[in-house]
């Protein structure tokens, strides 16, 4: 079991990990997802002690490996790392690459290390390449060798940092298939990947990283189907978000309309849906709300590039809004005609108590 307590990692001009706590159980296969630069690699490097956290503690089976008084050489050997860039030794053959660490560091007899390396080569489907040099292999084959080399140390936990990102698309599948087999053996694994379907299919847990830490930790079903938090949802549905403020002093209707147009063009929203989004904005926000409310309205436009759906949300502070007072207006009837659903909600406790949500899709 790995326990992380209040881990922080600070660089001179970035603090990717602000305060991370988590427990990783034996046999967990954790997919780490999130936008680039959110500390996914840093998290794995700090757990595996390739880097020293600025603050906080990491325990492995109740031994604090961040405590300099503890000798962690043995524990470190039990943590395997697979990188995007393979890192094989070019002057050694495939079998020598795999045998090196077990012989040098674990003092395994050569014959035993050889037998074990051959077993692992068969497992990754490359027994025939034992005597080749890395240069003679494709990227997918190199990465399978790198995985075999990591397994030769019989690690208790394996960290894989974007193991397929450097590969030609035709070779992603063969590497994923080796990783999938590995995940099924019950090894504890953490894997950073941008391949969402793969991430989802092999793991029992997902860390979505954002805002300096593990922003949401859940089952694959939760994270991919019912995320609890906004940013997770935006990420997994690959939502493109545009936030606008209407009704302020600087507010300029024309420039907002053109901003929406550019946003739609940038995200390849189809022409009709672009028109619907603009219409929803003009009729709801401009015609109906701003004139009545005399307050700032925050407008959020979200477009899912996966589902080709758009959601326009208008939020504002103030007393409960009488939605019936606008429901007979031609503007409202028009929005009703183009949308899949319109809902109004008033939350007493919320800062922005009123909210109208319009859902639209590419027909």
Ligand X SMILES: Nc1ncnc2c1ncn2[C@@H]1O[C@H](COP(=O)(O)OP(=O)(O)O)[C@@H](O)[C@H]1O
Give the residue, chosen from 24, 28, 31, 42, that forms a contact with ligand X under the rule CB under 6 A: 42
CA angle, 28 then 184 then 181, to 5°: 130
- Which of the choices Mg ion, ligand X, none does residue 80 contact, using the CB cut-off of 5 to 8 A by kind? none
Query: Which of residues 41 and 143 has its CB atom nearest to ligand X in the complex?
Result: 41
The tokens of 113 are what? 């290390």
What is the nearest approach in angstroms of ligand X to the Cβ of residue 9?
8
Task: Please give the Cα distance from 268 to 283 (Å, whole number).
Answer: 23
Among 41, 141, 274, 354, binds Mg ion (CB under 5 A): 41
Among candidates 85, 109, 113, 77, which has minimal Cα distance to 97? Answer: 113
- Residue with smaller CB distance to ligand X, 39 or 80: 39
Cα–Cα nearest to 335, from 297, 293, 286, 284: 284
Q: Which two tokens stand for residue 110?
A: 């050569």
Contact track, ligand X, 250-269, x by CB under 6 A:
--------------------
DSSP 321: P
53 binds ligand X (CB under 6 A): no
Q: How far apart are CA 206 and CA 214, in angstroms?
A: 10
Residue closer to Mg ion by CB (options 40, 129) is 40
Which residue lies nearer to ligand X by CB, 14 or 333? 14
State which residue, 14 or 228, has the beta carbon closest to ligand X. Answer: 14
Residue 18 or 78: the one with the smaller Cβ distance to ligand X is: 18
Q: Is 16 near ligand X (CB under 6 A)?
A: yes
In the complex, what is the shortest distance from the CB of residue 38 to ligand X, in angstroms, rounded to a whole number? 4
DSSP code of 267? T
Nearer to ligand X, 129 or 205 (CB): 205
Alpha helices in the chain (DSSP H): 40-47, 73-77, 94-104, 110-123, 139-151, 169-184, 196-202, 220-225, 230-236, 253-266, 271-280, 291-293, 330-338
In the list Mg ion, ligand X, none, the entry touching 228 (Cβ below 5 to 8 angstroms by class) is none
Which of ligand X, Mg ion, none does residue 109 bind to, with CB < 5 to 8 Å depending on kind?
Answer: none
Which one of Mg ion, ligand X, none interacts with residue 37, CB within 5 to 8 A by kind?
ligand X
The piece of 34-42, 199-207, 253-261, 270-278 that touches ligand X (CB under 6 A) is 34-42
- Rule CB under 6 A: choose which of 4, 20, 24, 40 binds ligand X: 40
Return the axis-axis angle of helices 110-123 and 139-151, rounded to nearest 10°.
130
Closest CA to 163 of 73, 252, 82: 82
52 sits near ligand X (criterion: CB under 6 A): no
Tokens representing residue 184 in the block: 């099924």
Q: Which of 1, 6, 10, 37 binds ligand X (CB under 6 A)?
A: 37
Question: How far apart are CB 52 and ligand X at their closest, in Å?
Answer: 11
Close Cβ partners of 286 (under 8 Å, ≥ 6 residues apart): 246, 253
Query: Distance (Å, rounded) from C-alpha 296 to C-alpha 256?
Result: 14
Q: Name the site residues for ligand X (rule: CB under 6 A).
A: 11, 14, 16, 36-42
Interacting residues with Mg ion (CB under 5 A): 40-41
């Amino acid at each position: 079991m790995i326990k992380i307590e209040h881990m922080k990692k600070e660089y001179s001009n970035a603090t990717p990990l602000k305060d991370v706590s988590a427990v990783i159980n034996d046999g967990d296969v954790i997919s780490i997802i999130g936008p680039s630069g959110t500390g996914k690699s840093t998290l794995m490097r700090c757990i595996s002690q390739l880097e020293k956290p600025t603050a906080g503690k990491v325990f492995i089976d109740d031994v604090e490996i961040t405590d300099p008084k503890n000798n962690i050489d043995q524990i470190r050997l039990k943590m395997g790392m697979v990188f995007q860039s393979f890192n094989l030794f070019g002057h050694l053959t495939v079998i020598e690459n795999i045998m090196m660490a077990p012989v040098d560091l674990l003092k395994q007899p050569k014959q035993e290390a050889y037998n074990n390396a051959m077993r692992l080569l068969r497992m990754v489907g490359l027994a025939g390449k034992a005597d080749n040099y890395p240069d003679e292999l494709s990227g997918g084959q190199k990465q399978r060798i790198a995985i075999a080399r990591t397994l030769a140390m019989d690690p208790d936990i394996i960290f894989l940092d974007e193991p397929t990102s450097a590969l030609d698309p035709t070779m992603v599948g063969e590497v994923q298939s080796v990783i999938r087999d590995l995940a099924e053996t019950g090894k504890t694994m953490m894997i950073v990947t941008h391949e969402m379907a793969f991430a989802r299919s092999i793991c029992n847990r997902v860390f979505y990283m954002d805002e300096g830490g593990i922003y949401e930790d859940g089952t694959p079903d939760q994270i991919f189907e019912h995320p609890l938090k906004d940013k997770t949802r935006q990420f997994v549905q690959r939502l493109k978000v545009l936030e606008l403020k209407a009704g302020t002093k600087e507010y300029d209707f024309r420039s907002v309309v053109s901003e929406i147009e550019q946003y739609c063009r940038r995200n390849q929203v189809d022409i009709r849906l672009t028109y619907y989004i603009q219409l929803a904005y003009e009729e709801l926000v401009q015609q109906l709300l701003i004139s009545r409310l005399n307050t700032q309205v925050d407008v959020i436009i979200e477009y899912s590039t996966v589902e080709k759906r758009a959601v326009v949300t208008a939020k504002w502070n103030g007393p409960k809004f009488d939605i019936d007072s606008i429901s007979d207006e031609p503007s409202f009837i028009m929005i009703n005609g183009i949308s899949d659903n319109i809902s109004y909600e008033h939350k007493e406790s919320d800062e922005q108590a009123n909210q109208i949500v319009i859902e639209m899709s590419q027909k």
